[in-house]
Structure formats: structure tokens, C-alpha cells
Amino acid sequence: MPELQFLIFVVIILALIFDFINGFHDTANAIATSVSTRALQPNHAIILAATLNFVGAMVSTGVAKTIGAGIVSSPALIDEKTIIAALIGAITWNLLTWYIGLPSSSSHALIGGLIGAVFISAGINGLNWRGIATIFVALVASPAIAFLTGIIIMNIIFRAFEKFSPHFLNDKFRRMQILSASAIAFSNGSNDAQKSMGIITLALFSGGFIAEFEVPTFVKVLCAASMALGTATGGWRIIKTVGGKIFKLEPPSGFAADLNSSFVVFGATLLNLPVSTTHVVSGSIMGVGTAKRVNAVRWGTAKQMVKAWGITIPITAAIGALTFGIIDAIF
């Protein structure tokens, strides 16, 4: 029992570290557009994002249940060592991609780490392949949907405001970006913070600390606070990539990208589906850029990002599997 309690404690600490890193890793998603168009000062944008990340994280636990119960076929087949290995895989990848300034998915990293660790510890039957397929479809479809709806929303704005001068539009939409930045920050919190909630709840349930798979209130508060704190530290390397290297944003396009992203992410939250805010925001920016002019999008940067998305799950799965082997040999 002392060893079990120690491992549960390690799981909670690592999950909160993951949430903290997720916060500063994904801060760019919520504020990059408003900072790049100068709608908000960086410090003000970070405070806004951190506050609404926390509020959003407290609204639902559906995504947490999908993460905790949708990847593993049965909690009885795994233990705390498996979850620790998964978290180490995700944290390692998040720190690496943050360091080089590459927008990557914390969601993909966590799911990949969990798949690799469970596969090594419990075998192929330990994985819920139907649940994994559902999650995978949501992760892949969401940026594509954001791309298409970004084109639609930007075209609507073009048609509705075509008679107004660029100066007038920039001034008005710069103010409206405060609302759209708030919306994406809230949506980001509503989806991303639940992933750590699901991991901690899975560990508590598999260890017999809770009788049913329901996210305890203290877990919700800890994860929400950890993500908000991480958000407050900023993620300037990624902000630079998202805010300016995909497409040169102006206030109308920044507003369209944020509003569109918030709809897609919060829609996924309502459906209890985990999605990558990083992917959705990047897809939205590509969409609004394409609506203006196809060659206005820096497709070379976009291509590099897509490659990073594609390798995230395999790499984190490998790290998770290797880490489990090391932990299992120690304990």
C-alpha cells in the first residue's frame, strides 16, 4: 500500500506538470492572433487567457471520461506505472517541441504516450481500439473542419463588410478580437484541461481509490489551476510561429480565426471528444488565409507543422513504451 500511494502521488504530480506545460505550450492558441494584430498587449492577453482557461476547465468532465475510459479496454489491466510512463512520454515531447518553437499537439502526445505504455504493459488486448478510432477521427477531422469553416466565416466577413474601408474594419475588429480571444481561451480550457483530469481519475479508479469513474472535484480544481498557471507563463516561441509564420493576420482575419476555432473546440467538448486546440487554431488560420488568397498562406511552415502532427503519436508511443520498461524494471 505505501508503494501504491507513492505511485498515485507521482501520477498526480506528473499529470499536473503535464497540464502546466500544456498551458504554456498552448497559450499561443488562445492569444497568438490577438497579440500579432496588436488587439491585446501580451501581458493582458496572457491574464485573459489564463483566467478563461480556468473557467472553461470547470464546465464539463465528458472529455476526461473519454480519455480515461476510451483508450484502455479495462482499468483493471493497467497500473500506476503505465500511466506514469505515458505522462513522461507526453511531457518529453511537449518540452522538445516547445523548445524548438514548433506547434504540436499535447493531446496527441498524451494519447500516444498512453497507447505505447498500455501496449507494452497489457498487450494489444489492453487497448480499446474502438475508442481509439473515435478519438483519432476527432483529432484528424477537427483541423480539416476548422480549415473549411475558416474559409466560410472569412468569406462571410468579406461579403458583409466589403463596402467599409480597411482602416475602419481594422479598428472595429481589433476591439472585437478581445471577445474572440476570450472565446477560444474558454474553449481551450474546456477541452484541454480535461485530459489530465481523465488520466488522474483513471489512476485513482484503477488503484481502488474511487468506486466509480467520476472526476473528483479536487481533481478538477487542481487541473484547472495548473493549466491556468501554465498559461500565465506564456509560450512565446510558439506564439511567434502561430501568430505570424503561417499567414500574416489582420484584425478581421484574426477575429475570424479565433471565433471559428472556439466553435470547433467547444463543439468537440459538447460531444465529449478530445481535440487538439493547436491543430484547430492552425487549421483556422490556414482557412482564413486561403479565403483571402491561396498563396498568402506560408504552406512551407504549414507543411512542417503537419509533419510534426503526424509523428507525434508514434514518437510519444515509443517513449511511453520505453519508459514503462525502465519503470517496471525498477519497481
Q: Is 60 a residue whose pLDDT tops 90?
A: no
In whole angstroms, how far apart are CA 314 and each of 6, 132, 222?
Answer: 29, 14, 29
Q: Is 235 a residue whose pLDDT tops 60?
A: no
Question: Considering all CA atoms of the chain, what is the largest pairwise distance in Å, rounded to the nearest integer?
Answer: 71
pLDDT of res. 182: 92
Question: What is residue 207's three-state secondary structure?
Answer: coil
Q: What is the pTM of this model?
A: 0.87
Pick from 31, 36, 42, 54: nearest CA to 192:
54
Q: Is 157 a residue whose pLDDT tops 90?
A: yes
Confidence of residue 126 (pLDDT cuts 50, 70, 90): very high
Task: Report the mean per-residue pLDDT for the chain.
Answer: 86
Could you give the angle at the alpha carbon of 184 between the alpha carbons of 112 and 315, nearest 5°?
A: 15
The β-bridge partners of 127 are: 72
First to last CA, the chain: 13
Pick from 114, 94, 90, 89: nearest CA to 319:
89
Confidence of residue 94 (pLDDT cuts 50, 70, 90): confident
pLDDT of res. 17: 94
> Percent of the chain at pLDDT above 70?
91
